[in-house]
Structure 1
Amino acid sequence: MIRFENVTFFHAGAKRPVLREVELSVGEGELCLVTGRTGAGKSTLLGAVNGLVPRFTGGHLHGRVTVDGRDTAAFAPQEFAGLVGVVGQDPLAGFVTDTVEEELAYGMEQLALPPAVMRKRVEETLDLLGVAELRRRPLRTLSGGQQQRVAIGSVLTAHPKVLVLDEPTSALDPTAAEDVLAAIIRLVHDLGTTVLVAEHRVERVLQYADRLLHLDGEGRVHDGEPAAMIADSDIAPPVVRLARLAGWTPPPLSVRDARRRAASLRERLDGRTPPPPSTMDGEPKLAAKAVTVAYGKTVAVREVDLVLPAGQVTALMGRNGSGKSSLLWALQGSGKRHSGAVDVAGTDPAKVSAARARALVGLVPQTASDLLYLDTVDAECRQGDAESGVVQGTCRALLDDLAPGVPGDRHPRDLSEGQRLALVLAVQLGAAPGVVLLDEPTRGLDYQAKERFTAVVRRLAAEGRAVVVATHDVEFVAGAADRVVVMAEGEIVADGPTAEVVVASPAFAPQVAKILAPSPWLTVEQVAEALNP
């Protein structure tokens, strides 16, 4: 179905290729998981499948890419619309209509499908992805996860033979991610759809993959069976790293298989316990009382009370659309607040200037690049220092501390996800806020980048700040958070130490907790420390 023949790709002006002499053949009905570190070329590989690379990205592609016998060099990308469905990392950037129902129908309209067929497929897709109640909602009012499901649905309605997905579950809560993956797997098994999935949260997809394509960062693509490829890969989910620690060969790819082999490991851990959670009684940095956020008749946050102590990392979790982002914006002062009060050092951030609010509460939104608008990294740093009223060089020093080696003359949108996140965080931290709010900060980060980011978050807390991370990334929460607050329909439904909250929840429990339940182990690092004190 898909063939790469000696494919090499250079970005314009680049001396090193992103893809180097790639030879690849993907058959009909295969689900291939594409892995690799941030910036390794995964999105470039996916973009070459329908000719978006190099027609829209620029650069030079050597070799030949064919899909179902069609050469991508001989046909424009729009000629592949009915054959290849593509969902990029940023769903909102790909929307062309105003509402959910219109977006699901748009692709079929361009393919001139009969109205009766279109109506039937729209209804099927709404049910398949669990977004039927959103059909008339404006796309820009949806949460990031809801937008991601609509983006996937908009390409599924055309019934393409090939589906190319770039981080399709990055903004989805665990349950929604399982639902979307179940729908994709159904297409593979029942319709013979060929699927290429690039995903940093490998733990979500690995067990379903027929093949694994790993980009080594030098431009080469390594291809093989998932169990064999992942055994010594530097991109390994917790279940595989736990298998290495326990000496299980070949490594299990799912929690179910790992639990079957975990009896001896549980015996070795018998009598040992994870480190106790940090205390939750530090000096309050932020106190919110009865905060309510409403958009018309829709209540996004309902009378929420929340106290954030100094020195604590709080994970804010909940299904897509539960009100997490609305709460963060309300706490920062820039977002809409229907009623309630927020106190930060005796001041309500909503009642002071934007500059003063930034000095009280720093917020990094879901799409960090929304805060970047200048042409170079150095220009962003200088502007950040000016807006924060601090000595020039403060932001650059913070950036070098968070992500050393970022070129000052580089355009911010040419940075990797991790570097962009570090730049925005440095800009926000320049004002030295006592409260730091981060909305889905681990999207686009590989495991190694997340480890470094975890260290950054822990250090911010050690400096006496209160840190809140709104996230669906349960593995990140297991390693970084002291406390978990769970929201549902705008209300807080659970609040407590990380181990107590996530272990009690099948949806939010990390892989290690599921494998070693009922013991409250959360991370591979905790287990390793217990076995080798």
Structure 2
Amino acid sequence: MIEFDRVTVRYAGNDTPMLRDVTLRVDEGELCLVVGRTGAGKSTLLRAINGLVPHFTGGTLHGAVRVDGRDTRHHPPRDIADVVGVVGQDPLAGFVTDTVEEELAYGMEQLALPAPVMRKRVEETLDLLGIAELRHRPLRTLSGGQQQRVAIGAVLTSHPRVLVLDEPTSALDPTAAEDVLAAVTRLVHDLGVTVVLAEHRLERVVQYADRLVYLSGDGRVVDGDPATVLADADISPPLVELGRLAGWTPLPLSVRDARRRASPLRQRLAGTAPSRIPTVPDSAPVLTARAVVVRYPGTVAVAGVDLDLHPGRIVALMGRNGSGKSSLLWALQGSGPRQGGTVTVTGPDGPVDPKTLPAAQARRRVGLVPQTPGDLLYLDTVDAECAQADRESGAAAGSCRALLDDLTPGLPGDRHPRDLSEGQRLGLALAVQLTAAPPVVLLDEPTRGLDYLAKRQFAALVRRLAATGRAVVVATHDVELVAGLADRVIVMAEGEVVAEGTAAEVMLASPAFAPQVAKVLAPEPWLTVDQVAAALARCGASA
């Protein structure tokens, strides 16, 4: 169905090709998972399938890409639209209508399908993705995860033979991600749709893959059976890392396979307890919120939430898509709507509500990095963004650049922010916010687009922020990140706090939010591979 024949892609200004002599074949009805470090070329490979590379992105393509017999050199994307459906990383950027129902129908209108067929497919897709209650909602009022599901649905209604998905679960909560992936696998198994999917959160999807394509970072690819390829890859989900630690062969790709082999490991861990994340002593909260209410037309996003944030503590805010996490963060920062309740932040002049302050002063009390960090970046170069951050924050010249070099070393100052990778853009946006030295830092879905190594670096950065006395809130669906990072976990549902406690207390009590290690080693309270490795090391030392 898809064939890459000695494909090399090179962009202007880059000496190293993004793809180098790639030969690859994906058969009809296969689910092909594309993995690699951030910036390794996954999006380039995906965009080459329907001709976006090079017809839209520019650059030079050597070799040939053929889809269902059509050569993309001679067939631009519009000539392949009836065969290939593509969902990019940013759903909002691909929307062309105003409401959910209109967006689902738009692609079929372009293909001139009869109205009865369109109506039937819209209903089927609404049910398939669990978004029927959103049918009349304006697209811009949806949460990031809801927008992601609508974007996938807008492609599915056209019934493509090839479905290309670029990080389809990055903005979804664990349950919604399972629903979407279940729908995708049904398309593969029941209808023979060929799916090519790039994803950083391998723990969610690798067990469904028939083939794994690994981009090593030098332009070359390795493809084959997922367990075989992951055995030597420098990125891997926690389950594979646990399998390596335990010496399991072949490596397990699903929790079910791992649990069948885990009995000897449980016996080795018997009598030991997981090491706990050190916590700082209790102190007065730096931010206090009481009975916070946020309403939008037709919905209550936050319903009377109380919250205390303490210096040096890392709080994870979790919950399904649309539960009110982002609305709460914006209300705490002061830029978003708040129809009820109070928010006070301590400072040199005493407690103050950030909503009553000018934007520049509010940033010095509470810094927020939104789901799309690029929303904070509006100048032409990295250096210009850093200089502007210094001026707006009243900081010494070079302060923002110094922070950036600590977060993302070696970033060229003349690079346009839109040309940065997701991780680099996050680092720049975070440096811009931290230049004002706020005592409270709010991060909304900060690990979207980050590979496992980049997430480890991000977690180390957050710990350094907490160590300097800042209160940090991370709103995320990434249960593996939370398991190894958070001092405290708060779960929201329908705008209310429904669970609160330590990471172990909350995550072990919820199958939806339990990390892979917890599922494999249950009922023992293990959360991360690092905890298991440390315990085995202690056992070995004592022996």
How does the TM-score come out when normalised to structure 2? Answer: 0.97
Q: How many residues align?
A: 533
Q: Deviations over 1:84-104 (max 9, x none)?
A: 000000000000000000000
Q: Which residue of structure 2 aligns with residue 295 of structure 1?
A: 296
Match status 1:458 vs 2:468: no
Distance in 2 between residues matched to 1:307 and 1:16, nearest whole Å: 49
Distance in 1 between residues matched to 2:426 and 2:276, nearest whole Å: 30
Q: What SS is found at the alignment partner of 1:24?
A: strand
Contact 2:446 2:474 in 1 (8 A): yes
Match status 1:408 vs 2:416: no
Q: Which residue of structure 2 aligns with residue 486 of structure 1?
A: 491
Q: What SS is found at the alignment partner of 2:292?
A: strand
Distance in 2 between residues matched to 1:358 and 1:137, nearest whole Å: 32
> What is the 5 A alignment of 1:225-244?
225-244=225-244
Q: Unmatched 5+ residue regions in structure 1?
A: none
Q: Deviations over 1:208-256 (max 9, x none)?
A: 0000000010101111001111112111100000001001011100011
Distance in 1 between residues matched to 2:320 and 2:36, nearest whole Å: 28
Tell me the amino acid that sits aligned with residue 317 of structure 2: L
Contact 1:291 1:301 in 2 (8 A): yes
Deviates more, 1:475-484 or 1:126-135: 475-484
Tell me the amino acid that sits aligned with residue 406 of structure 2: D
> What is the 5 A alignment of 1:500-511?
500-511=505-516
> What is the 5 A alignment of 1:319-468?
319-345=320-346, 346-468=351-473
Distance in 2 between residues matched to 1:40 and 1:410, nearest whole Å: 18
Query: What is the percentage of aligned positions where both structures have the same residue?
Result: 74
Contact 1:8 1:21 in 2 (8 A): yes
> What is the 5 A alignment of 1:150-161?
150-161=150-161
Deviates more, 1:409-418 or 1:361-370: 409-418
Distance in 1 between residues matched to 2:381 and 2:425, nearest whole Å: 12
Contact 1:282 1:311 in 2 (8 A): no
How does the TM-score come out when normalised to structure 1? Answer: 0.99
**Structure 1 residues 316, 280: closer, same or farther in 2, change over 3 A?**
farther
Q: Which residue of structure 2 aligns with residue 281 of structure 1?
A: 282
Q: Which residue of structure 2 aligns with residue 99 of structure 1?
A: 99
Q: What SS is found at the alignment partner of 2:49?
A: coil
Tell me the amino acid that sits aligned with residue 223 of structure 1: D
Q: Deviations over 1:236-290 (max 9, x none)?
A: 1000000010010111000111011101111111111112352573331110000
Tell me the amino acid that sits aligned with residue 177 of structure 1: A
Q: Which residue of structure 2 aligns with residue 210 of structure 1?
A: 210
Q: Deviations over 1:177-201 (max 9, x none)?
A: 0000000000000000000000000
Distance in 1 between residues matched to 2:147 and 2:290, nearest whole Å: 30
Distance in 1 between residues matched to 2:434 and 2:397, nearest whole Å: 14
Tell me the amino acid that sits aligned with residue 289 of structure 1: R
Contact 1:280 1:309 in 2 (8 A): no
Match status 1:82 vs 2:87: no
Contact 1:384 1:395 in 2 (8 A): yes
Q: Unmatched 5+ residue regions in structure 2?
A: 539-543
Distance in 2 between residues matched to 1:279 and 1:423, nearest whole Å: 28
Contact 2:363 2:438 in 1 (8 A): yes
- Once the two structures are TM-superposed, the CA of residue 413 in structure 1 deviates from its matched residue by 1.1
Distance in 1 between residues matched to 2:423 and 2:274, nearest whole Å: 30
Distance in 1 between residues matched to 2:402 and 2:535, nearest whole Å: 37
- Once the two structures are TM-superposed, the CA of residue 370 in structure 1 deviates from its matched residue by 0.5
Contact 1:378 1:408 in 2 (8 A): yes
Distance in 2 between residues matched to 1:185 and 1:80, nearest whole Å: 23
Q: Which residue of structure 1 aligns with residue 522 of structure 2?
A: 517
Q: What SS is found at the alignment partner of 1:432?
A: coil
Q: What SS is found at the alignment partner of 1:284?
A: coil
Q: Which residue of structure 1 aligns with residue 193 of structure 2?
A: 193
Contact 1:323 1:489 in 2 (8 A): yes
Q: Which residue of structure 2 aligns with residue 309 of structure 1?
A: 310
Q: What SS is found at the alignment partner of 1:35?
A: strand
Distance in 2 between residues matched to 1:239 and 1:13, nearest whole Å: 39
Distance in 2 between residues matched to 1:487 and 1:365, nearest whole Å: 18
Tell me the amino acid that sits aligned with residue 257 of structure 1: D
Contact 2:331 2:338 in 1 (8 A): yes
Distance in 1 between residues matched to 2:223 and 2:487, nearest whole Å: 39
Tell me the amino acid that sits aligned with residue 28 of structure 2: E
Deviates more, 1:68-77 or 1:121-130: 68-77
Q: Which residue of structure 2 aligns with residue 129 of structure 1?
A: 129
Q: Which residue of structure 1 aligns with residue 61 of structure 2?
A: 61
Distance in 1 between residues matched to 2:374 and 2:171, nearest whole Å: 16
Q: Deviations over 1:345-399 (max 9, x none)?
A: 1010001111111000000000000000111100000000101111010000000
Q: Deviations over 1:266-320 (max 9, x none)?
A: 1111111112352573331110000000012311000000001111110000000
Tell me the amino acid that sits aligned with residue 286 of structure 1: L
Tell me the amino acid that sits aligned with residue 425 of structure 1: L
Match status 1:260 vs 2:265: no
Contact 2:280 2:312 in 1 (8 A): no
Distance in 1 between residues matched to 2:213 and 2:298, nearest whole Å: 47
Q: What SS is found at the alignment partner of 1:322?
A: coil
Q: What SS is found at the alignment partner of 2:481?
A: helix
Distance in 1 between residues matched to 2:298 and 2:221, nearest whole Å: 51
Match status 1:120 vs 2:142: no
- Once the two structures are TM-superposed, the CA of residue 415 in structure 1 deviates from its matched residue by 1.1
Q: What SS is found at the alignment partner of 1:218?
A: coil
Tell me the amino acid that sits aligned with residue 108 of structure 2: M
Distance in 2 between residues matched to 1:10 and 1:229, nearest whole Å: 26
Q: What SS is found at the alignment partner of 1:102?
A: helix
Contact 1:83 1:162 in 2 (8 A): yes
